[in-house]
A and B are shown apart, each in its own frame.
Chain A
């Protein structure tokens, strides 16, 4: 990516998230409280930092984006109101809004269901993983 493309994508991510990654002081509280921490290659505080510094390419291609479950523990506990969940969501969104880039395409979701799975799970997963 060119410096210009990175700057454009960074401002798009910040616009979509409505938050300010600059306010982050890297205390790591978000990562410490994240229930998916052990499953992530890049952790919430790192993702916030990478957006702020424009180090976007590694996270755009990282499976860590799909490990956030919007439990909002990070958002609740952030002492600087950075709301990391919104930044992770925005990064995932710019990836999924590209053509044929959905994490769970609608036609695939059908194969993952079982008889007891609540509608809520299906609707939520489609909202999160299919744009």
Chain B
């Protein structure tokens, strides 16, 4: 049985427990093991774009180092964790200064340095969707489906799974296909719509109705446009891998007006939820 180091991240242990549980159950059925890293730390939610923010990367580096030391791929499920882990890992390949400074910090802490080795960027970060595509195979996944989803499903990628594509190398940032192929594998019908890689408004949700009282703007309005686009294309379910997209999209459903108000409510689910439903 193939084993992966697993980095759940803070939100999956709390508000997004469905995302985590669905993956664990699916892994058992599909025959691979997600070994949760002991004492993992929060990735920080966002990759630090500033060159001089080094300590903000340590949480991610500790997880990367653990996976590399154990010779396992590091699996993330949350789009944000995936994005941060992969971008921080990339720093080690392209930025000698960051690599040196991070290792100077690691050397200060005995538990980070008990193997005596600096971290060199050797870990391989993958998203669970990549495990399903490359290690399990979508054709094998399809053959194990007992309960095909049989609904029109819109894949919502958002930002963090795709960009920056030169570093993440997850999929084509402008015309991604992995989630659509996943949907087809679990027996759904994928719905393509133009807003699938647009931003949901992210952490701007904290400002909605607070520092930003203008309801025409903010996360609520950005998410509303995405939902309306998916609904207009006939979607019954939207799937996502990101807990923050989930929150923003769910909230936006309640604001639908005009011709959208009378339609049956679209569901927002994590991709692991429909994966599990299909396999059971």
Contact = CB atoms under 8 A, between A and B. Distances in A.
Instruction: Determine the main DSSP class of A at the interface with B.
Output: helix
A69 interface: yes
Contacts, number: 125
A116 interface: yes
Nearest to A33: B198
A118 interface: yes
B167 to A, nearest CB: 10
Contact of B159 (A16, A36, A66, A71): A71
B52 A16 contact: yes
Interface residues of A, number: 39
B163 to A, nearest CB: 4
A17 B48 CA distance: 10
A36 B206 CA distance: 15
Given A17-B50, A69-B204, A70-B49, A123 B210 contact: no
Interface residues of B, number: 46
A14 B204 CA distance: 26
Contacts of B11: 118-120
A68 to B, nearest CB: 10
A121 B51 contact: no
Interface string A83-113: 0011001100100000000011000010111
B202 A70 contact: yes
Interface stretch (A2-10, A21-29, A54-62, A72-80): A72-80
Interface stretch (B39-47, B102-110, B133-141): B39-47
Contacts of A86: 49-50
A36 B202 CA distance: 11
B51 A18 contact: yes
A127 B51 contact: no
A71 B163 contact: yes
Nearest to B209: A112
B202 A124 contact: yes
Interface string B250-271: 1100000000000000000000
A127 B163 CA distance: 19
Given A104-B211, A119-B14, A127-B44, A15 B51 contact: yes
A89 B78 CA distance: 23
Interface string B211-255: 100000110001000000000000000000011101100110000
B51 A16 contact: yes
Contacts of B56: 127
Which 6 A-B pairs have CB atoms at the shortest separation, nearest pair first? A124-B45, A71-B199, A123-B45, A72-B163, A18-B51, A124-B203
Interface of B: 9-11, 14-16, 42, 44-52, 56, 78, 80, 159, 162-165, 173, 198-199, 201-207, 210-211, 217-218, 222, 242-244, 246-247, 250-251
Given A120-B9, A121-B203, A128-B46, 20 more contacts: A17-B49, A38-B217, A66-B207, A69-B201, A70-B47, A70-B202, A71-B199, A73-B163, A76-B162, A86-B49, A116-B247, A117-B247, A118-B243, A121-B247, A123-B45, A124-B44, A124-B202, A124-B244, A125-B203, A127-B56
27 contacts: A16-B50, A38-B217, A69-B202, A69-B203, A70-B46, A71-B159, A71-B199, A73-B159, A73-B198, A76-B165, A86-B50, A89-B49, A109-B206, A117-B15, A118-B14, A118-B15, A119-B42, A120-B242, A120-B243, A121-B203, A121-B206, A123-B10, A123-B42, A123-B45, A124-B203, A127-B56, A128-B203
